[in-house]
Structure 1
C-alpha cells in the first residue's frame, strides 16, 4: 500500500521517455483541466489545481505505474449539481469526504470488485457520460447561460430557447474553429496537440479582433496555501449522499482506467487496492488546496502511454508542467474564451464514443444490447450511480436467465442388458445449476412421476447448488418417500454434499446408504430393492 523506491527503479533508464511523455501530457491536460473546472462550476483555477495536486499525489501513492489523474468529465457531471445546489463553499468538504471514503475502500481491499461490472454496463455508462458532457457545453457554445433544469438535456433545450441576436454567431465560430483544428491536427500528425493549437488560434484571433466573448478571467499566479476545510454536523450530513456518489464514481472510473492502461502497456500490472488509496488521498489533498475530486483519466493516461511514459515520473512531470503554466503564463491563460473550452470538451465527448464498440455490443446479443442501452439512457436521464447499479441488476437478470436455461432435468434409459423390474426404476440426470431460479422445475419434472418404485437422481453433472435448490430437493425426496418411492442419489459432489447435509437432503433419504458414487452401484441397489419388494421383503 505504501510508496517505495521500487516504484522508480526503472526511471534512471527511462527518464528521457518519461520527461517527453510528461511534457506531452501536461500540454494535453491544460485545456482539459481548465474546461472541466469551468464546466463543473468550480472554476478554471480549481480544475488546474486538481490536475497538479491530484496528479502528483495519485502518481506517488496509487497502484498504477502509468496512470495520470486529475479532473474528468464523469466527475464534472456528478459534481456540477452539487456545486449548483449546495454552493461553491462545500467543494472542499465534499472533496475530502469522498476522498476518505475511497481510501477506506482501498484499505478494506474492495479494489477487485470492479471485475464484477459487465462490459456493456461500462460502455453504456461511458456513452451516457459523453452525451452529458456534450449537452453541458451547448449553452457556452451559443453564448447563453444554462437552463435551470438539473437534467443536462433539458438545460440545453432551455438554454437554446433564450438564444437571440447576431452575437450568438461569435461563440459558435470559436467552437467551430476549435473543433476543426482538433479534428484536422491528428490527421496531419498524431503527435500534434490539437487542443492547445486550437485554443492558441482562437485566443489570439479573439483578442486581436476584440470580439465580445466571455473569457476564463483572472487566474492566480501561484498555488494557494493548503487549508483544512471546516463544516458543521448538519453540512456533513447533507453532503454524505453526494460524497458517497462521488466516491463510487471516483473508484469505478479510476480502476477502469488503470485496468485499461495495464492492458495496453507493458509497464507492469496495477494494484487495485493501492490505486484506490492513492486516488482517495489525491482527492483529499486536492480539497485542501481548493481543488475538486479527482479520478484516473483514461484520455491523459492513453496519451502518456503513446508518448512513451514508463514510470510514475511521467505523471509527476505532467503536474510540474502545469505548475510552470500557473507561475509563468496565468495571464495569457485567463484570456482564453470559454467557448473555446466548450469546443474542446465537445470533441473530447465525441472521442469518448467508439462507434465500433457500440456496433459490437448492439450486434452481439439482445441481452447485452438491452443492458448497454438501459445503462446509457439512465445515465443521461436519471443518475450516474443509479445507472451503474441498474445496469448491473439488468445484466445479472439476463445472466441468471441464461444460467437457468442451461439447467435441465432429463430422464434416462437404464443401460443394457435390461433386467426384470427395470420399468419400475426411473433415472433422472440433473444438469447445470440447481438454484432458486430453476429449483421448481425439478419438482415439476420429477415429483409427478408415476408407476415407479425407485428414483435415481444423477447429480455428477450438477455444477451449482444453492440453499433453495437443496431445500427443493429435500421437499422432493420427502414427497416421493411418502408415496412409497425410494430415492437414491448418485454422484453428488463433495461441496454439494456438505450443503445437502446441512439443509436436510441426506437425512430425508430412507437410508444413509442410498448415496452412491457410480451409476452401476445405484442401479444394482435399485434392482435389489425391486426384487425384495416382489418377494414381500422389507427393502433397504
Structure 2
C-alpha cells in the first residue's frame, strides 16, 4: 500500500502546497478552456481533463511536481481527429490511448522515450506551434480558419484585409492583440505583479474590458459538466479501424513523449524526488482512460503548469492534487464565469503559447555546431505544417535515423604502393551501403595492370551490401584478365 502523497516534513509545507495549488489552478483555468476551444470541442471537456489530471494523475506515483492536463501540443491532433472521426469517437480514441500507455508502462518502455532525437521533439513542438499560431490568428479575428496548414498561411493576406476593413473582425483582433501584449509585458512588471499568473491576468483584463465597454465579440459557450460528459457506447468501438488505431498510436506516442520530456525538464528545476518514467507513464495511461470514459480531451504533463508549481514553492504532490480540486469547485460553483470569457482573448493566449513552443533559442547554436540537427528540426516542423502531426514526426524520426547512420558509417580508404609492385587498399571504420559509392569509386580508379590487395581487417563493421559489392568487383576484375584482386581477412 503506497501513500498518495508524502506527509509534510516541515510546519509550513502544507501552507506552501496550498498556495502553490492556487497558483497552478489560476494558470490552468484559462489554458484548459483555451485548448478545448482551439481543439473544436466544448470548453467543459478541457476542464474535465484538467480535473482528472489533478485529482487522479496527481495522486498516483511517478512524478512529484509535474502537473497534467490538456496541452496545446495536442490541439492540432485532437482537432484533426474530431474533424475526421467526429466528437463521439474522441472518448474511444482517448480511452484506447490510455490503454496503450498502460501497456507501454507495464512493458517498461518509459525510459525509451528519452531515446527520441531532441531535434525531432523540438521540430514537433515547432510544427505544433506554427499550426497553433497561424490557426488561432483567424480565431483571434473571429474568422473561420482554413483546414490545411499551408492554407492557413496562404490566407493571411485575406485575413489582414478583413481586419483592416474594420468592423467586428478588427474589434475581435484588437481584443486578442491586447491579450498577447499583456502576456508579453507581464513578466517585465515588478515582482509583486507576478503573484497573478500572466494567462489569468491577460484573460481577466480582456474579459473586464469587453464587459465594461459592451464590445461585440464571441464568448465561450458553457453547458455545464453534466451536459458535456459523453460516455462512449459499445457501437463506437465497432468503428475501430486502421485509421482510428493509427490516430490512437499517434496520440499515445506524442502524449507520452511530451510527458516524459517535460518530466526531464521539471526534474532539473528542483532538488526533490526524481521522476520514475515507467510509473509516470502508467499514471498518464490511467488518467487518459478515465478522460476517455468521460469523453474528454487527452492529457499530458504540461511544462507551463509544472514549472509554475515548482516556482510557487510546492513541497509535495498535494499541490497538484489540490489544483484539480479547485478546478472542480470552480466549474461546479461558478460555471457561468467561464461563459463571460471572450474567445479572441483565449485565441491570444494560444497564439502566444504557439510562439513559445517554437524553440528560437536553439536555432543559432544548432546552425553553428550541428546544422544537420537544424535541418531535421526544420523539416519536421514544415512537414507537420504541410501534412499532419503523424507524418511530420515520422519524417523527423526517419531523417534522424538516416543522419545517425550516415555519421556512424564513416569509412576511410587508404591506398598505398608496396615495394613489390602490389597496391594495398586498406579500409577502416564502418563500411555500410551508405558509403558504398565512395568505396567503389576509389577502387575502380585503381590501375588494372597491377596486383591489388584489399585489407578489411581493421573494419569495425562490414555490412552485407558492401561485402557483396567488394566480392563482385574483385571477381569482375579478375575475370577481365587483369592482375588479380585479393581480399584479406574480411570481417563478418
In the alignment, is residue 277 of structure 1 matched against residue 274 of structure 2? no
Greater relative CO (CA pairs within 8 A, separation 6+): 2
Pair 1:243–1:53, CA change in 2 (3 A): same
Q: Is the 8 A contact 1:92 1:229 kept in 2?
A: no
CA distance in 2, matches of 1:146, 1:391: 27
Q: Secondary structure at the match of 1:410?
A: strand
| Map of 1:231 onto structure 2 | 235
Distance 1:55 1:472, change over 3 A: farther
- C-alpha distance in 2, partners of 1:466/1:271? 38
Residues 1:252 and 2:252 aligned together: no
Match of 2:433 in 1: 436
| Rounded Cα–Cα distance in structure 1 between residues aligned with 2:276 and 2:423 | 54
Taking the TM superposition and a 5 Å limit, the aligned residue runs for 1:289-328 are 289-328=294-333
User: Post-superposition shift, 1:46?
Assistant: 0.6
**Structure 1 488/40 Cα, relative in aligned 2: closer, same or farther at 3 Å?**
closer
Match of 1:419 in 2: none
For residue 222 of structure 2, what is the aligned residue in structure 1? Answer: 218
Number of matched residues? 480
Q: Indicate how the Cα distance of structure 1 residues 159 and 446 shifts in structure 2: closer, same or farther if over 3 A, else same.
A: closer
Do the aligned residues in 1 keep the contact of 2:6 with 2:317 (CA within 8 Å)?
A: no
Alpha-carbon distance between aligned partners in 1 of 2:162 and 2:428, rounded to the nearest angstrom: 64
Question: 1:22-171 residue pairs with structure 2 within 5 A?
Answer: 22-61=21-60, 63-147=62-146, 152-153=152-153, 165-171=166-172
Gaps of 5+ in 1: 415-421, 501-540
Deviations 1:390-426 (A, max 9, x none): 122223333333334x311214588xxxxxxx52566
Q: CA deviation at 1:294?
A: 1.0
User: Aligned pair in 2 of structure 1 residues 33, 331: CA closer, same or farther (>3 Å)?
Assistant: same
Tell me the residue number matched to 2:204. Answer: 200
Which runs of 5 or more structure 2 residues have no equivalent in the other structure? none
Deviations 1:273-319 (A, max 9, x none): 33322222211111222311111212212222222234433322221
Give, in whole Å, the separation in 1 of the partners of 2:117 and 2:100.
Answer: 23
2:465 corresponds in structure 1 to 468
Q: 1:156 to 1:249 in 2, by over 3 A?
A: farther
Taking a change above 3 Å as real, the CA distance of residues 452 and 263 of structure 1, as seen in their structure-2 partners, is farther
Match of 1:360 among 359, 362, 365: 365
CA gap of 1:444–1:123, structure 2 versus 1, over 3 A, is same
Of 389-398 and 56-65, more deviation after overlay is shown by 56-65
Q: 1:537 maps to which residue?
A: none
In the other structure, the counterpart of 2:376 is 371
State the Cα deviation string for residues 185-210 of structure 1 (Å, max 9, x = none): 22122443122122222222322333
1:345 to 350, 362, 381: 350
RMSD: 3.3
| TM-score, structure 1 as length reference | 0.78
Match of 2:395 among 373, 390, 395: 390
Cα–Cα, structure 1 residues 469 and 182, in superposed 2: closer, same or farther, change >3 Å?
same
Query: Secondary structure of 1:146's partner?
Result: coil
User: Aligned with 1:302: secondary structure?
Assistant: helix
**Inter-CA distance 249–153: structure 2 relative to 1 (3 Å threshold):** farther
2: CA distance, partners of 1:131 / 1:179: 16
Deviates more, 1:239-248 or 1:228-237: 228-237
Distance (Å, rounded) in 2 between the aligned partners of 1:161 and 1:276: 47
Distance 2:64 2:447 in 1: 63
Distance 1:62 1:295, change over 3 A: farther
Q: Secondary structure at the match of 1:464?
A: strand
